[in-house]
Structure 1
């Protein structure tokens, strides 16, 4: 059977925005490995921290992500061409010669860059994301060979709706007016207006993503555009390695804290859909959608909701159990406490648990830091963590119905061979296996802990479990003794408990002999 997708990319030149980000790096690696006849991949890179674009390019290539390519195709570097640029500058900060080369050579464009900070100020978000995409679209209009422009949005761009179709929803304010306001209005004034503009959405990130979608279909409908809307992006399912990750965003941040025993309670509905999607499925959909856009020429801009909730449901309760079990099975090195995560919909119960598990502990740790002459930092870190958790409450407490008609349609258009190479079928996810690999990925790829140390880590975890059990029992006994001195009922009950324990102890030898 013909490998239609790889054949489509043969001889193509690609332009990738967001190469130095998590998604951009995985995209380029997959294109180079599975579409080996690609002509060139141009990657927009901004000089940073006294590093020029080639130094930053080599930093990315030194990652373990490219290990397979280094072995299979050691010459892969020659196909990746860095382009000096900046999304905030006119013409994307590119030189005229680079622009000319892109305009005449590129046939597929992937935009996988965005400021994903939920606390991003509205003005900077508009300048980076909305203005940046407009500049890119203007460049694409000049590309004589353009076959597809793939823009990565988020399925939560329209989270103010309980049901989200694979369609573009018109905003109350036109994107052009928002961009004009950002040019003359200072950041402080825009922050005052932000709550009125974003409405029921939880942050500026989701609001601006929706504005970009509308901008593309309204002002650039003549371009061959595909919009990808993934849900919460997590570690890889299979490629390049199961559990691969190399950033601290999204679920990885939380899993690391849970594994270390730092985070133990969150607001969330245990029966709610945990709509997490592996990064490699997102990448494969991006690649396949560009192929479909070029070959099948749909009359309208295609939107693909890449979600798991309706097609392969896992709940936050599942994640709560899986994460606990797998971090006990494969512990991180030097955890502070036994891993445990509990979701609750009760704000009172959450605050109580958080005060006991996090706030009180932070103050105690800082007290001992002061005694030892060290700088206290636990309370400050704890406050930062609470702020992060608050920004996630909206997504763990609420539920949405996301349609997947276009996603299913595209999957059925892809032939069997391409389905194997470019898998984006969320039904292929086995959740227990995926979460276990994710937890191992946190240990191996993010924290750089060796798997050879697992036997020692497991022994240490057993000791930690016993220690915490003894601490709980000792605390309970002390509190009960204090109570028994003052309350007659408690004292009588305490005596009965001791009598029962002695009775069982005396009976144990005779019971053992009879069995």
Structure 2
């Protein structure tokens, strides 16, 4: 029989509806959970945390779309083989059998779930986590509406048939209201109603929708933030009596704590750019370095989601609850400090096969950034592809730079602006947790150690994205040292050549230039012994 950890209510709790004394893990005891987006980055972390920290959970159903010749069962087996699930596989392997696939598709009517499965879910599910979404900033509006808005509507239709539903957690984004600088934990109505937009998108040809996209987006930068705002507006008006919670994370990065510190498995957000910078092929970006980078660890978002489900499930509150999961108010970090620390640890833990010494610059000037791109990105890419062509290799650098350029453009809006995300509801939720739950389901961003976190983030990219073992570090560091001296030598030569050009008519300056050149040659001779 599990020990009972009574939650001691804070003074804040006395002003709230009656709060159960059960812990979060006890709340999930015997519960059946349904997850959409379970094969995505956040979905995997959610599933792992449920299995590891809520051992009493009865079943977890994942909505999985057949993909690339794999059926739902095969995709689930592959998912559970991820390093993320190592602790569960080792300590409680039988718990993996609690995870069952539901074949379906968020883009299709009725989620493409069979009648039998729909009836089974309606009878048995207690808690729903809806994290399925397209997070591509430059997604076509028609597909973005289909997934982020219509997919949400179809899920709600299913949830309203669930007779034992205790909590519905919808994952949104803090940036769905990025047209405002101050964002409170409320739903803001978009200029156009969600039903109007969905009707328009459904009846028009995709090419015509593309031509109208900019007008429909208005002052929002992309289809992702726009459709997430539409989904929230629709949920507010159509939730009925559903126990609905909306969780809005800001920019989600790698995990902060266990089971794997620094775990990350996708290129989304800044990760792709940071990885490319570590390889030495991305060196300039449009960014106001003094702005706040509102980054949040993925495991803290998941912990908040689980606590939010516990909260609404134990208080039986049917009012819409919204949580802005962000770090800007409690533990801010600037883009300058974030990028600077990334470079520090990319040099300390260098990646293998680095093209050039990791370094870079940020600027808030579009003109200067464009010039930097030509000199630091495109010129080297063309030179490298030319040599690859001459040596019989396959040119690839221009194609890579095209992808990086698109990714950088998508991020520019977020690296040149700043928001104040009110997170009072998040802080109040943390206050009503008992001490053991605050530790096990930590989402207190004020406790983040950014330096340690970014060190693990860089190591996580190295280990989980590039699949590089720790054994490769000594050789990678030798290569990095050579690149460093080559990089510095080229910088010095460039300065001396410019100096020579500017002082060619003045004898004393020529003599100084000659002495500096002899010193540089002497250092170059020592380079092989370093």
Q: Give the TM-score of the pair, scaled to structure 1.
A: 0.94
Pair 1:389-2:413 in alignment: no
Q: Is the 8 A contact 1:316 1:343 kept in 2?
A: no
SS of the equivalent of 1:75 reads helix
Pick one of 52, 61, 64 that aligns with 1:33: 52
Pick one of 332, 343, 352 that aligns with 1:333: 352
Which residue number in structure 1 is paired with residue 193 of structure 2?
174
Q: Is the 8 A contact 1:10 1:35 kept in 2?
A: yes
1:292-321 Cα deviation digits (max 9, x unpaired): 111123352111001101100110011121
Pair 1:209-2:228 in alignment: yes
* Structure 1 residue 454: Cα displacement: 1.5
1:402-449 Cα deviation digits (max 9, x unpaired): 101111111111111101111111011100000000000011111110
Which residue number in structure 1 is paired with residue 175 of structure 2?
156
Which residue number in structure 2 is paired with residue 183 of structure 1?
202
Structure 2 CA distance for aligned equivalents of residues 368 and 244 of structure 1: 36
Q: Is the 8 A contact 2:269 2:411 kept in 1?
A: no
Task: Report the more deviating stretch, 454-463 or 61-70.
Answer: 454-463
1:320-376 Cα deviation digits (max 9, x unpaired): 210111111111112111112322111122122222211110111122223224443
Which residue number in structure 2 is paired with residue 507 of structure 1?
none
Q: 1:483 to 1:501 in 2, by over 3 A?
A: closer
Aligned length: 500
Pair 1:97-2:116 in alignment: yes
Q: 1:500 to 1:44 in 2, by over 3 A?
A: closer
Which residue number in structure 2 is paired with residue 292 of structure 1?
311
Q: Give the TM-score of the pair, scaled to structure 2.
A: 0.91
SS of the equivalent of 2:102 reads strand
Pair 1:87-2:103 in alignment: no
* Structure 1 residue 268: Cα displacement: 0.9
Pick one of 474, 488, 492 that aligns with 2:505: 488
Q: How does 1:397-408 map onto structure 2 within 5 Å?
A: 397-408=416-427
SS of the equivalent of 2:93 reads coil
Which residue number in structure 2 is paired with residue 512 of structure 1?
none
Q: 1:291 to 1:502 in 2, by over 3 A?
A: closer
1:186-237 Cα deviation digits (max 9, x unpaired): 1111112211111111101000000000111101132110000000000000
Q: Is the 8 A contact 1:11 1:37 kept in 2?
A: yes
Which residue number in structure 1 is paired with residue 472 of structure 2?
453
* Structure 1 residue 476: Cα displacement: 3.6
Structure 1 CA distance for aligned equivalents of residues 219 and 45 of structure 2: 33
Structure 1 CA distance for aligned equivalents of residues 494 and 215 of structure 2: 50
SS of the equivalent of 1:238 reads coil
Q: How does 1:354-369 map onto structure 2 within 5 Å?
A: 354-369=373-388
SS of the equivalent of 1:145 reads coil
Which residue number in structure 2 is paired with residue 441 of structure 1?
460
Q: 1:218 to 1:470 in 2, by over 3 A?
A: same
Task: Report the more deviating stretch, 493-502 or 68-77.
Answer: 493-502
Pick one of 161, 166, 186 that aligns with 1:142: 161
Pair 1:324-2:343 in alignment: yes
**Please, which runs of 5 or more residues in structure 1 have no aligned partner?**
504-515
Pick one of 212, 227, 232 that aligns with 2:246: 227
Pair 1:267-2:286 in alignment: yes
